[in-house]
Amino acid sequence: MGQRIASPSKKVLQRFAALILENADQLALLETIDMGKPISDSRLIDVPGSAKCINFYAEAVDKISDEIAPTDPSAVAMVVREPLGVIGAVVPWNFPLMMASWKLGPALATGNSVVLKPAEQSSLTAIRIAQLAVDAGLPAGVLQVVPGMGETAGQAIGMHMDVDMVAFTGSTEVGKYFMQYSGKSNLKRVSLECGGKTPHIILPDCPDLDKAASAVAWGIFFNQGEVCNAGSRLLVHEDIRDDFIARVAKVAAGIQPGDPLAAGTKMGAMVDETQTDRVLGYIEAGRAEGASIALGGNRVMTESGGYYIEPTIFSNVDNSMKIAQEEIFGPVLSTITFKNVEEAVAIANDTIYGLAGALWTRDVSTAHKVARQIKAGVVWVNCFDAGDITTPFGGFKQSGFGRDKSLHAMEKYTDLKLIWLQLD
Ligand code: NAP
Ligand code: MG
């Protein structure tokens, strides 16, 4: 990546990461005030995770080289990667700082400028880190933050003739708009990290039912269920359903909503009234379609004036129901039973989404086979939501395309150029 001589130096990005950590308390507070997640999550997950991400790409700057193709010796064919130019990064409100960092790290490290549009509910940390980037030595204008509504600021980025690529995280619906904006403007490149309806499969030979129940509960109730890869569909073998739901409910009892600013809170508030109504609407739809509630189902703590929904479990869902097909983006788990592995895989794949999947089994061949059969960007075996900045993240099908995290994320912010030098 020779052109990265024009990119911000490794040191600038390293300082940027260091400044994020130095300002961790403030950034965590801004994030929690903005979108309602527990302050301990903001402080222990979002902020350090964002700094780690920026630092990973800072370190990558001087560790990747271009290629010389193995042509006939009469030529030197250099295959080089060049930055695209101006990247529009459009991100959602559920992990505002983290989603921004997943775009900023690789986009800046490959030598691009970035125009970042945070979600209108959650612009504070985006604005603050742009200041920190300047303090770290990033030249003025290389990172710009444009807060505003999606229909105006987001669309303007999508339609702009001088934006070379849009890196989007958000809903599948809005992701499709960005494909249209690209077609109607300059054919800008688009990468999409969209929604999900992750199947979390518990096979009868699950090695540890309590461990799995804990993973299922945290997999859907973490971050108030406002997680793109949330394990929102529990696929459990029919013989162990009741016992397993009881185990999940026991864990969920310890994940009740509370004041996001209190240190011990494990589940915070929904981002806003619109999202609260949307989630309650889905709970109503589940009831109307005949699903039974095994746990929760209500808005709580109304006296606080905040938007809190308790962990909710539907016990007898059919995969054709709305609550099994549509992304709820809230603390609502839909339980679906199956009779054998083949049926579990068929149900898992019966969705427009393909962001993630998980299965619990002690049989190593089942693990390998099912992991290959699930159409999703990541499959977890005997764990949930495991990952690292070194591993790629992104979806199959209508969960989008392109990957965040890992060295692979750098590819989409560059174009390949061939320079063929004829020697004789
Ligand atoms: P969203 O409504 O799709 O919005 C995402 C971003 O797009 C926001 O900045 C939004 O701006 C903007 N936007 C909205 N309408 C637009 C339009 N017509 N033209 C251009 N831009 C527009 O998603 P969200 O409600 O913020 O977040 C929840 C969704 O994000 C879920 O579907 C979730 O699965 C997905 N998500 C995916 C991942 C992943 O990595 N796959 C990660 C996190 C979240 P405003 O909000 O300011 O209007
Ligand atoms: Mg929005």
| Segment 27-41 mean pLDDT | 98
| Segment 147-170 mean pLDDT | 98
- pLDDT per residue as tens digits for the range 225-240: 999 999 999 999 999 9
225 in ligand 1 pocket by Cβ < 6 Å? no
Assigned token pair, 245:
């739901």
120 in ligand 1 pocket by Cβ < 6 Å? yes
- How large is the angle between the packed helices 96-109 and 10-22, nearest 10 degrees? 160
- Predicted local confidence at residue 223, as pLDDT: 98
pLDDT band with cut points at 50, 70 and 90 for residue 6: very low
- Nearest-CA residue for atom 20 of ligand 1: 154
| Segment 372-384 mean pLDDT | 98
Instruction: Using the predicted structure, report yes or no on whether residue 375 has a pLDDT greater than 90.
Output: yes
Kindly give the number of the ligand 1 atom that is closest to the alpha carbon of 193: 41
Instruction: Using the predicted structure, report yes or no on whether residue 398 has a pLDDT greater than 80.
Output: yes
155 in ligand 1 pocket by Cβ < 6 Å? yes
> Which sequence positions are flagged as catalytic?
193, 228
Instruction: Using the predicted structure, report yes or no on whether residue 2 has a pLDDT greater than 90.
Output: no
Instruction: Using the predicted structure, report yes or no on whether residue 14 has a pLDDT greater than 80.
Output: yes
149 in ligand 1 pocket by Cβ < 6 Å? yes
Please report which helix (H) or strand (E) contains residue 236, including its range. Answer: strand 233-237
Q: What is the spatial distance between Cα 308 and Cα 265, in angstroms, rounded to a whole number?
A: 12
355 in ligand 1 pocket by Cβ < 6 Å? yes
pLDDT band with cut points at 50, 70 and 90 for residue 92: very high
Q: What is the spatial distance between Cα 114 and Cα 129, in angstroms, rounded to a whole number?
A: 13
Instruction: Using the predicted structure, report yes or no on whether residue 361 has a pLDDT greater than 70.
Output: yes
| Segment 259-263 mean pLDDT | 98
Instruction: Using the predicted structure, report yes or no on whether residue 349 has a pLDDT greater than 80.
Output: yes
Considering every ligand atom, which ligand is closest to the CA of 225?
Answer: 1
Q: What is the largest CA-CA distance in the chain?
A: 82
How many angstroms does the Cα of residue 255 sit away from the middle of ligand 2?
26
In 3D, which of 183, 103, 114, 174 has the Cα closest to residue 142? Answer: 114
pLDDT band with cut points at 50, 70 and 90 for residue 424: confident
Strand-strand pairing, 356-360 and 233-237? unpaired
Mutation probe of ligand 1 site: the residue of 174, 178, 182 with most atoms within 8 A of C-beta: 174
What are the residue ranges of helices labelled H in 61-189?
96-109, 124-135, 155-159, 172-184
- pLDDT per residue as tens digits for the range 165-190: 999 999 999 999 999 999 999 999 99
- Nearest-CA residue for atom 12 of ligand 1: 150
- Predicted local confidence at residue 8, as pLDDT: 57
Q: If 0-12 CB within 10 Å is exposed, 13-18 middle and 19+ buried, where does residue 407 land?
A: middle
Q: What is the spatial distance between Cα 335 and Cα 314, in angstroms, rounded to a whole number?
A: 6
| Segment 364-372 mean pLDDT | 98
119 in ligand 1 pocket by Cβ < 6 Å? yes
Kindly give the number of the ligand 1 atom that is closest to the alpha carbon of 393: 40
- How large is the angle between the packed helices 10-22 and 24-35, nearest 10 degrees? 70
Instruction: Using the predicted structure, report yes or no on whether residue 3 has a pLDDT greater than 70.
Output: no
Contact 87, 165 (CB under 8 A): yes
Q: What is the spatial distance between Cα 70 and Cα 318, in angstroms, rounded to a whole number?
A: 55
Percent of the chain predicted with pLDDT > 70 = 98
- Nearest-CA residue for atom 18 of ligand 1: 151
- Predicted local confidence at residue 346, as pLDDT: 98
Contact 67, 56 (CB under 8 A): no
409 in ligand 1 pocket by Cβ < 6 Å? no
pLDDT band with cut points at 50, 70 and 90 for residue 258: very high
- Predicted local confidence at residue 304, as pLDDT: 97
Q: What is the spatial distance between Cα 71 and Cα 239, in angstroms, rounded to a whole number?
A: 61
Please identify, in words, the CATH class of the domain defined by 2-194+399-422: alpha beta
Tell me which residue has tokens 């793109």.
Answer: 228
380 forms bridges with which residues in the sheet?
358
228 in ligand 1 pocket by Cβ < 6 Å? yes
Which fold does the domain 199-381 belong to in CATH? Aldehyde Dehydrogenase; Chain A, domain 2 (3.40.309)
Q: Mean pLDDT of all residues in the chain?
A: 97
Q: What is the spatial distance between Cα 236 and Cα 223, in angstroms, rounded to a whole number?
A: 23
Mutation probe of ligand 1 site: the residue of 35, 53, 94, 193 with most atoms within 8 A of C-beta: 94
Q: Where in the chain is the domain with CATH 3.40.605.10?
A: 2-194+399-422
Q: What is the spatial distance between Cα 299 and Cα 286, in angstroms, rounded to a whole number?
A: 15
Considering every ligand atom, which ligand is closest to the CA of 181?
Answer: 1
- pLDDT per residue as tens digits for the range 101-148: 999 999 999 999 999 999 999 999 999 999 999 999 999 999 999 999
- Predicted local confidence at residue 88, as pLDDT: 99
3-state secondary structure of 80: strand
How many angstroms does the Cα of residue 7 sit away from the middle of ligand 2?
32
The CA-based angle 11-97-263, given to 5 degrees, is 115
- Predicted local confidence at residue 7, as pLDDT: 53
Percent of the chain predicted with pLDDT > 90 = 98
Contact 283, 311 (CB under 8 A): no
Q: Where in the chain is the domain with CATH 3.40.309.10?
A: 199-381
Q: What is the spatial distance between Cα 62 and Cα 417, in angstroms, rounded to a whole number?
A: 19
Q: How is residue 365 annotated by DSSP?
A: H
